[in-house]
Chain A
Amino acid sequence: MAITPHTIDQSTLPPELARYHRQMLLPGFGIEGQKKLMSSTALVVGCGALGTVIVNMLARAGVGHIVVVDRDFIEMTNLQRQILFDEQDVKDAIPKAEAAKRKIAQINSQVKVTAIVDDVNHTNIEKLAGIGNDAYGKVDIIVDGVDNFETRYIANDCAVKHGIPYVYGGSVGTVGAAYAILPHTAPLGTGETVWEKAGLATPCLRCIYEQAPPPGVNPTCDTAGVIGPAVSIVSNYQVAEALKILTGNLDRLSRTMLSFDLWENTFRQLKVQKAYDVAECVCCKGRQFEFLDGMFGSSTTTLCGRNAVQITPKAGEKAQMNFDEIATRLRGMGTVTANKFMLRADIVDQGNPYELTVFSDGRAIVRGTKEANVARSVYAKYIGG
């Protein structure tokens, strides 16, 4: 039944719907759209500059269940642009995903947030997307708030393989890009998804960018900096596209990729739709999920602008860390602090200072080096291999 949005009378709405009155007035939204949002599950990958805005706006809009995954903890330099966090979070050393969950509980208690403190990689993305997951079913959308292309290709592979809409966003310095993907799950004209049947499927991220920029080619957060408005524009644009998808307004999606530079005052709508026909994409046309299959996966990642390396144990090697034990072992070597999420130790190894942060699943961030080998060595020495 079609609903004429602008005639919704706020006073007749039940309380759980009344708070959304203003957005329900929009054409194509209505009570029906709102109910779709409230029964939706969104996976937000990464909860930094993009992710905090995405989680915030999705929660305020009333998306029923938000799964937010982030591997990191909050630092003072994040607060300039990561809108869900504050100084107390830094003092308390709260992981980003957990802090986001706490803030959302205050902003919109109708929304369920599942906070997962973990790296997103090829071993866990499908489960995070609700595939073979006892906790929740297949998510309705994946929204990208990550800071590297490897994870984006993993998310893109997962989205294409399982037919989940995926909204890409990226930002550094004063530039940004965003693009909503309704993936092809089968050869043209044969896919069973709503969008394929409607002829609305789009090229995937690998159709457009076949390869990730290798390290050192593009500027990072530390060489180029970043301003809040750039990430905010990208992420809010992503949310707008996500709302269209979740409310069933697929025909309203932008068919172009947004690309802008705030310092040059350029805004472009890049025409990308022919990419599916032209690109012979290995992923959405070829049905080869190279990133999901771990062909390009790495277990160490040099973190953008942080002089730090993250070490992720291989699948099957994850263990619950005993922080008390480790803290006792490390206390003689430097300052050690721990809470239930993580342990942090300042260590001097061979005359060089390192800050070692270990999470409960065995993942660690070694600060003080950009070298994977050095980080592995510090990890092996003080945490164990």
Chain B
Amino acid sequence: MPTVTIPAALRPQVDGLSEITVAGASVGELLLKLKDQYPAFGAKLYKADGALNRFVNVYVNNEDIRFMDDLDTQVTDRDEVAIIPAIAGG
């Protein structure tokens, strides 16, 4: 199953996990499963209309899904999906 990397900012919403292995054929499927499993995580990731929040980017093997097929981007067991939010501190 593909692995989803959870950023530090969102780990409190997923029981502190930094990586979660989840079954699914597309990025959208993976994230919806995580949303169902961790509703508080979903609330941070998605806008009310079901789209992803725009201060969060999702990468598959370091490529932004917006430049591929967005949430329909297909993933295999060997792919690494990373959620990376904008980093504001400094």
Contacts and interface: CB of A to CB of B under 8 A. Distances in A.
Interface of A: 46, 48-51, 144-149, 152, 169-177, 208-214, 217-221, 224, 226, 231, 234, 256, 259, 261, 263-264, 266, 268-272, 274-275, 277-279, 304
Contacts of B7: 175, 261
B9 A219 contact: yes
B90 A50 contact: yes
Contact of A271 (B18, B62, B89): B62
Contact of B64 (A46, A144, A212, A270): A270
A212 B64 CA distance: 18
A268 B57 contact: no
Nearest to A224: B8
B54 to A, nearest CB: 4
For the complex of A and B, the 9 pairs showing the least CB-CB separation, nearest first, are A172-B89, A170-B87, A274-B67, A210-B54, A213-B55, A211-B54, A50-B90, A209-B86, A177-B87
Interface string B42-77: 001000000001110101001110110000000000
B5 interface: yes
Nearest to B82: A268
Given A175-B8, A209-B55, A209-B57, 8 more contacts: A146-B90, A147-B90, A149-B86, A170-B87, A224-B9, A261-B8, A268-B59, A304-B89
Contacts of B62: 256, 268-271
Nearest to B12: A219
Given A218-B9, A264-B18, A266-B5, A171 B87 contact: yes
A172 B87 contact: yes
A270 B59 contact: yes
Nearest to B84: A259
A176 B55 CA distance: 15
Nearest to A211: B54
Interface residues of B, number: 24
Given A173-B8, A217-B44, A274 B64 contact: yes
A278 B63 CA distance: 13
A212 B55 contact: yes
Interface in B1-16: 5, 7-9
Given A211-B55, A217-B44, A270-B59, A145 B8 contact: no
7 contacts: A147-B88, A170-B89, A170-B90, A173-B89, A210-B54, A212-B86, A272-B64
A176 B5 contact: no
Contacts of B85: 213, 217-218
Contact of B88 (A149, A270, A272, A274): A149
Given A271-B64, A272-B64, A176 B87 contact: yes
Contacts of A48: 90
Nearest to A45: B90
B88 A170 contact: yes
B57 A208 contact: yes
Nearest to A177: B87
Contacts of B5: 266
Contacts of A177: 84, 86-87
Given A50-B90, A269-B62, A270-B64, A219 B8 contact: yes
B89 A278 contact: no
Nearest to A279: B66
A219 B8 CA distance: 8
Nearest to A46: B90
Contacts of B90: 46, 48-51, 144-147, 169-172, 231, 234
Contacts of A149: 55, 86, 88
A271 B85 CA distance: 15
Contacts of A208: 57
Contact of B63 (A145, A220, A271): A271
Nearest to A148: B88
A21 to B, nearest CB: 32
A285 to B, nearest CB: 14
B16 to A, nearest CB: 12
B55 A217 contact: yes
Nearest to B67: A274
Nearest to A150: B88
A117 to B, nearest CB: 18
Contact of A213 (B18, B59, B88): B88
